[in-house]
Homo-oligomer: A and B are copies of this chain.
Amino acid sequence: MSNSGVESVRDAGRTRADRAASRRVSMTDVARLADVSPQTVSRVSNGFPGVQEETRIRVLAAMRELGYRPNGAARALKSGQFRTIGVILFTMSTTGNVRTLEAIATSAAREGYTIMLIPVAAPTQDGVYGAFTRLGEFAVDAVIVIMEVHLLDTATVSLPPGVPVVVVDSDAGDRYSVVDTDQGDGARQAVRHLLDLGHRTVWHVAGPEESFAAQRRAAAWRATLQAAGRQVPPLLRGDWSADSGHRAGLRLAREPGCTAVFAANDQMALGLLLAMHENGRAVPGDISVVGFDDIPEAGSFTPPLTTVHQDFASVGRHCVEGVLRQIRTRTAEPGVTIVPTRLVVRRSTAEPRG
């Protein structure tokens, strides 16, 4: 038997494989063993009706004996469907992204889809551009984008036409299907909670300027204060990290009038707590702190953190539902789906002293 070069190389490492089969077993092999046509094997493989029980059993036995696995590539080539959803995301260091991703993966799995991860190395235009231009080559039926939206705006790219897209936390609802948590309402709840406790005003440690979510939380913080006729203190800028929260906290600890702080995420709130502790400012005795996200650890901070709960699972579910609907209807559907947030009151907030 004259093997081609490729095949002999392929065989080289197959210590466990039976010496007979050098190629992967295909429908034809199964068909030969079960003494039916390849077409019947296909029918059995896909659970189509119109196959006699006896024949089906014989085919299934042959499949098992040969260890047959359908070839995804061939199937995808024929059907034009990959049963795969691409997820473009910039970083996994923020809790939100990861939790959303996990929910997406779970929901997708339930629908028989798998997730292809498309990391964007740098949040630069080039990085995004690269991911998006290569996108057409990826074997995906749809795309979910988890990323700061301004990159989508400035990057002079468009997604390949005909590929369903859902974007998370973006204001591109006019062009794309968007799933968004109700950032504004969450921030409003946080600020109102503090005001209702009797604080005269609320300071804010915001996320990075480029972040759409950070912008929205900051805007709602400002608007809520203004609506209540309160003074709006200068905004402190963080970068989502606990460390940046710590730096902001060092400054706030020396601010005499400051009795309440709203941090744009829980990590920064954690840094705040440390800074307050280091400077002998009691939480919530001297200063109340509210976070955002409700990460699993938030209830175990010292003290347990009052924070705005985000339902990432719901976000992920909506994303998957969105792309699947688009896949099935073959229609783009711009618009925004809002997932509500709710305040979880723990022990980092209290009435101001005196």
Contacts and interface: CB of A to CB of B under 8 A. Distances in A.
Interface residues of A, number: 68
9 contacts: A13-B330, A14-B161, A67-B161, A73-B139, A241-B296, A270-B301, A271-B300, A273-B302, A301-B302
How many copies of this chain does the complex contain?
2
Interface in A73-120: 73-74, 76-77, 82, 84, 91-93, 98-99, 101-102, 105-106, 109, 114-119
Interface stretch (A198-206, A242-250, A284-292): A242-250
Contact of A77 (B73, B92, B99, B297): B73
Most buried by B among A117, A246, A332: A117
Given A84-B116, A273-B302, 16 more contacts: A13-B329, A14-B330, A15-B331, A17-B162, A70-B137, A73-B76, A76-B139, A82-B139, A91-B102, A92-B102, A106-B121, A114-B138, A242-B300, A243-B300, A274-B302, A297-B297
Consensus secondary structure, chain A interface: mixed
Given A10-B330, A162-B14, A330-B9, A138 B72 contact: yes
Interface in A143-164: 160-162
A69 interface: yes
Contacts of A121: 106, 109
Contact of A300 (B117, B246, B303, B330): B246
A71 interface: yes
A270 B298 CA distance: 10
